[in-house]
């Protein structure tokens, strides 16, 4: 058993090491220069080793919207972005609100083989917000669903939200809320501000997000259940979540890469690529979100990868679909917004992008790391070899995702995936998909 040897690679804690991958595991981590022989040796001088990334918030569109994305293309994009696990949101067609659909998505992920795909079950039937979906059957299915969300729609009925929080306690599930009070956002097109008035676009007030978060953390406290807040976007939301955590309420939260970097000023262009839900906010919100991710108030980064066809995105602003692609640019954005600003070190990146989301989702086989973000010997070899010194201009036409609605087109971003190991298989080699790679289905 000699496997693959990554020589002279930099670990998240700054040490240089030789790391051996064999039989699907991290077989050994040794001082650089002491790794021994191997079937394949990869010189990783000046490269960084990170645990495979985990995304709690991905839209893969299949079934029903394969013109925008498929599980195959979405997981290829995930692999190129450094992700070994993604959670597929329920707003497919048909909705993933029953065991049949979540098992279909789960099987498609296994057949594709680029990363683990964990379906997210809908909270309500058809995302309609009127009656609970069959949460128990989805939890008991082969997909073993543990996260439930009506993302794209808010569970705005307080009684239904309470019932959902109570129900998922039986199997240690979590409800992930898209916090948006619908009556406060009717006709909204962008962040409510002086700029929205100047541009003549319907405003999306911060309180529409904050009011739902405030209600839901109190509900979670009342029933003693787990709540996860999707795509936090305002400084006020950060303060509510911080308040809740100080009181021991079981709430976790995510922020998207685009909310860490982009602001509402981009809407001046009326380019629909910047139309997203929740909307791009003020610079003050961006700074508050960065600080909250650094201090742990916000737990993780979720891409909210939302591919759309050209027909639904390249049109006038008011009728354009909301959403941005993000799997392939997530880590570069976080490197620019958080690492290069000194707010996070690479151990912190490993925490917010891998260890913490894996813990929230209950992924015991994702691949364990220590407190410094260094993989543990014997754990599953879900590993990202990253070049932090690389810089490149984003060209959506070269992305693996089927859609092209990236807000970073033409922008220079740092970092590049060099190699990607998924359960010990090198699915990205020298910066490109290992398209000859095929795997035996992984065990559930």
Q: Just list the catalytic residues.
A: 304
Ligand-binding site membership of 271 (annotated): no
The DSSP letter of residue 263 is -
What are the angstrom distances between the C-alpha of 10 and each of 48, 155, 385, 386, 422?
Answer: 5, 44, 9, 10, 19
CA distance 9 to 350: 16
Other Cβ atoms within 10 Å of 125 Cβ, number:
15
Exposed/middle/buried for residue 269 (C-beta within 10 Å: 0-12, 13-18, 19+): exposed
DSSP percent split of the chain into helix, strand, coil, nearest 5: 35, 25, 45
Cα-based angle 54, 19, 38 (whole degrees, multiple of 5): 125
The DSSP letter of residue 124 is B
Q: Is the dihedral of CA 315, 320, 321, 326 positive or negative?
A: positive
Residue 178 has which token pair? Answer: 């898209």
Other Cβ atoms within 10 Å of 81 Cβ, number:
27
Residue 142 CB partners (closer than 8 Å, separation 6+) = 103, 106, 107, 444
Other Cβ atoms within 10 Å of 390 Cβ, number:
16
Residue 73 has which token pair? Answer: 């293309």
β-pairing, 425-429 with 432-433? Answer: antiparallel
Ligand-binding site membership of 231 (annotated): yes
Ligand-binding site membership of 382 (annotated): no
Ligand-binding site membership of 91 (annotated): yes
Ligand-binding site membership of 308 (annotated): yes
Ligand-binding site membership of 98 (annotated): no
The DSSP letter of residue 351 is I
What are the angstrom distances between the C-alpha of 375 and each of 4, 24, 35, 370, 378?
Answer: 16, 13, 16, 6, 9
Ligand-binding site membership of 365 (annotated): no
Ligand-binding site membership of 60 (annotated): yes
Residue 37 has which token pair? Answer: 């022989």
Residue 94 CB partners (closer than 8 Å, separation 6+) = 63, 64, 101
Ligand-binding site membership of 34 (annotated): no
Under a CB-based contact definition with an 8 Å cutoff, are residues 203 and 190 in contact? yes
Annotated binding site: which residue ranges?
57, 59-61, 91, 151, 178, 231, 277, 304, 308
Q: Which residues are annotated as a binding site for substrate?
A: 59-61, 91, 277, 308
List binding-site positions for Zn(2+).
Answer: 57, 59, 151, 178, 231, 304
């Amino acid at each position: 058993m000699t496997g693959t040897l990554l020589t002279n690679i930099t670990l998240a804690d700054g040490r240089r090491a030789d790391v051996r991958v064999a039989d699907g595991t991290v077989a050994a981590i040794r001082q650089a220069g002491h790794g021994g022989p191997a079937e394949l040796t990869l010189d990783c001088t000046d490269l960084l080793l990170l645990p495979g990334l985990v995304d709690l918030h991905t839209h893969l569109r299949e079934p029903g919207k394969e013109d925008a994305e498929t599980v195959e293309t979405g997981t290829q994009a995930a692999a190129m972005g450094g992700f070994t696990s993604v959670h597929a949101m329920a707003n497919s067609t048909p909705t993933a609100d029953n065991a049949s659909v979540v098992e279909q998505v789960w099987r498609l992920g296994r057949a594709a083989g680029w990363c683990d795909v964990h379906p997210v079950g809908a909270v309500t039937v058809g995302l309609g917000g009127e009656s609970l979906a069959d949460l128990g059957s989805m939890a008991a299915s082969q997909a073993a669903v543990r996260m439930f969300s009506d993302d794209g729609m808010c569970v705005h009925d307080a009684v239904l939200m309470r019932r959902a929080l109570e129900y998922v306690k039986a199997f240690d599930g979590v409800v992930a809320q898209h916090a948006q009070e619908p009556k406060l956002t009717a006709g909204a097109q962008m962040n409510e501000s002086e700029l929205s008035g100047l541009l003549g676009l319907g405003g999306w007030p911060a309180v529409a997000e904050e009011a739902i978060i405030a209600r839901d953390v109190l509900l979670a406290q009342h029933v003693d259940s787990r709540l996860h807040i999707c795509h936090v976007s305002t400084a006020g939301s950060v303060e509510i979540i911080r308040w809740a955590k100080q009181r021991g309420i079981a709430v976790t939260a995510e922020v998207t890469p685009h909310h860490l970097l982009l602001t509402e000023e981009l809407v001046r262009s009326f380019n629909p690529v910047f139309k997203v839900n929740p909307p791009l906010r003020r610079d003050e919100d961006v700074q508050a979100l960065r600080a909250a991710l650094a201090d742990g108030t916000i737990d993780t980064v979720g891409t909210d990868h939302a591919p759309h066809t050209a027909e639904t995105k390249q049109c006038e602003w008011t009728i354009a679909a909301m959403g941005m692609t993000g799997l392939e640019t997530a880590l570069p954005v976080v490197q620019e917004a958080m690492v290069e600003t000194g707010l996070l070190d690479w151990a912190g990146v490993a925490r917010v992008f891998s260890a913490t989301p894996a813990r929230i989702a209950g992924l015991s086989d994702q691949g364990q790391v220590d407190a410094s973000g260094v993989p543990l010997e014997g754990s599953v070899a879900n590993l990202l070899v990253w070049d932090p010194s690389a810089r490149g201009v984003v060209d959506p036409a070269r992305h693996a995702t089927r859609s092209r609605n990236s807000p970073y087109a033409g922008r220079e971003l740092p970092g590049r995936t060099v190699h990607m190991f998924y359960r010990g298989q090198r699915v990205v080699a020298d910066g490109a998909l290992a398209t000859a790679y095929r795997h035996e289905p992984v065990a559930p």
